[in-house]
């Protein structure tokens, strides 16, 4: 079932042609700013991978990948990627990228199980990035350093967009606020995770929530995360668990928290074994990606994804992701958007 977040007195500040130009402007500027901030090189990525190798990202573990048989491989099944979290780490090894540098790529995916609405489409496009790190970098302090660099690239992009389109006034907070998911729970114990996100972003503007995936004191995770890429279980120097998180920004058009990036320091062998056991997924240890990681063939890394259409939607101050990308929507959803003055592509 689709959902709809109705904006207050919405009117697009850019027409269709200006929007198309703005999309290119945002994408061109931000990817260069990101690559410079994190020392990343661009690489070419796959749209699909072979099933059963453990390379595809299974997100929360419930989403179905789009699959098809490959005739030349005896009808072996290929599946459209959900993201490239594991593929990127394998690529760091293949390119022999040293600590302090990394790679990024354009990731395009189809997520057939998405609940469609203002923030979610069947089609997902993001910059997937991964950077090699040292063992001594596996801590919250380093995680925060990388987040601040990414946020700096976002601030630069926002200023550039406002210069190109003066009607789009800058709205990003000057700096990002950090909080652990457990601290957020204690701050708003009577609210759901999404309601907590709204409240903390309403207060600070831009927030990075640390520790996404591990169970909190109420026995539930703030949000779900697969067990074999982000490290959400390692004790950190702040007295909590987790070396990953989500970057959220207050969206003034929709009046709510808006996730821009999911990222984190990746699991080492110890953390992956622990998280697979916690999740009841120990059988994955026999898959290609997992065997290579446990054998020490893959470098330690930090990485994540940054939504391309999401970022364009935010900076061009649009109310619906369908104003940025062409996709399929239920007809009643299109009608609701038309009545709200939201022109879907």
Catalytic residues: 57, 111, 126, 246, 259, 262
Rounded distance, CA 329 to CA 121, Å?
Answer: 8
The tokens 């998180």 sit on which residue? 245
């Amino acid at each position: 079932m689709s959902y709809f977040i109705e904006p207050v007195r919405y009117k697009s500040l850019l027409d269709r042609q200006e929007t198309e130009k703005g999309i290119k402007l945002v994408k061109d500027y931000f990817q260069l700013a990101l690559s410079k901030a994190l020392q990343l090189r661009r690489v070419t990525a796959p749209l699909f991978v072979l099933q059963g190798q453990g390379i595809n990202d299974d997100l929360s573990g419930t989403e179905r990948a789009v699959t098809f048989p490959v005739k030349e491989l005896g009808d072996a099944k290929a599946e459209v990627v959900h993201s490239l979290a594991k593929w990127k780490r394998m690529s760091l090894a293949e390119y022999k990228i040293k600590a302090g540098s990394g790679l990024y790529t354009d990731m395009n995916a189809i997520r057939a199980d998405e609940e469609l609405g203002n923030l979610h489409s069947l089609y997902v496009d993001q910059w997937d990035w991964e950077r090699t790190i040292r063992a001594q970098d596996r801590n919250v302090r380093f995680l925060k350093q990388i987040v601040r660099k990414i946020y700096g690239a976002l601030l630069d992009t926002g200023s550039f967009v406002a210069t190109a389109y003066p009607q789009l006034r800058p709205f990003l907070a000057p700096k990002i606020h950090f909080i652990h998911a457990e601290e957020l729970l204690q701050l708003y114990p009577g609210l759901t995770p999404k309601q907590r996100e709204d409240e903390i972003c309403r207060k600070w503007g831009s927030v990075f929530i640390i520790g996404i995936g591990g169970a909190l004191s109420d026995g539930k995770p703030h949000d779900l995360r697969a067990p074999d890429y982000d490290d959400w279980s390692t004790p950190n120097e702040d007295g909590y668990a987790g070396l990953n998180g989500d970057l959220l920004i207050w969206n003034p058009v929709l009046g709510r928290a808006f996730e821009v990036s999911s990222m984190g320091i990746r699991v080492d062998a110890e953390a992956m074994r622990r998280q697979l056991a916690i999740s009841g997924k120990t059988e994955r240890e026999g898959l290609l990606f997992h065997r290579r990681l446990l054998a020490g063939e893959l470098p330690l890394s930090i990485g994540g994804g940054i939504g391309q259409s999401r970022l364009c939607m935010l900076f061009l101050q649009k109310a619906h992701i369908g104003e940025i990308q062409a996709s399929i929507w239920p007809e009643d959803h299109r009608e609701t958007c038309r009545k709200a003055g939201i022109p879907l592509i």
